Amino acid sequence: SAVISQKPSRDICQRGTSLTIQCQVDSQVTMMFWYRQQPGQSLTLIATANQGSEATYESGFVIDKFPISRPNLTFSTLTVSNLSPEDSSIYLCSVDAGGRVEQFFGPGTRLTVL
């Protein structure tokens, strides 16, 4: 399985600011995914990021709020913009398992918005 790292591991941000989360994989992968994990809620897919194309967003998530970059096959960023306390959550990236359905997850970024 791929080794995935995320930066930062946690952050505390002020309302109205933005946070950019980085996801780095130790091997080239086709698909990278960004999830949100809110307390007491299911892991929810925000968007799918493929290299060389625009990210595909799930219902309820928009590019203006969650812009994503995927400059190469080992790296992606998720920005959470115009932060509000409701954005306080854990954000996770994951990668596909070489064309198989199962995914492997990074350690997550814990965001607190004051």
Partner 1 sequence: QKEVEQDPGPLSVPEGAIVSLNCTYSNSAFQYFMWYRQYSRKGPELLMYTYSSGNKEDGRFTAQVDKSSKYISLFIRDSQPSDSATYLCAMSGGSNYKLTFGKGTLLTVNP
Residues forming the site for partner 1 (CB under 8 A): 1, 4, 31, 33, 40-45, 48, 92, 96, 101-108, 110
Minimum gap (Å) between residue 5 Cβ and partner 1: 10
Residue (14 or 59) nearer to partner 1, CB:
59
Residue (73 or 81) nearer to partner 1, CB:
73
Q: Which of 24, 39, 44 is nearest to 110 (CA)?
A: 39
Q: Using CA atoms, how far apart are residues 59 and 47, in angstroms rounded to an integer?
A: 9
Residue (17 or 30) nearer to partner 1, CB:
30
Q: Where are the alpha helices (DSSP H) in 61-104?
A: none
The tally of CA atoms less than 13 A away on the side-chain side of residue 46 is 27
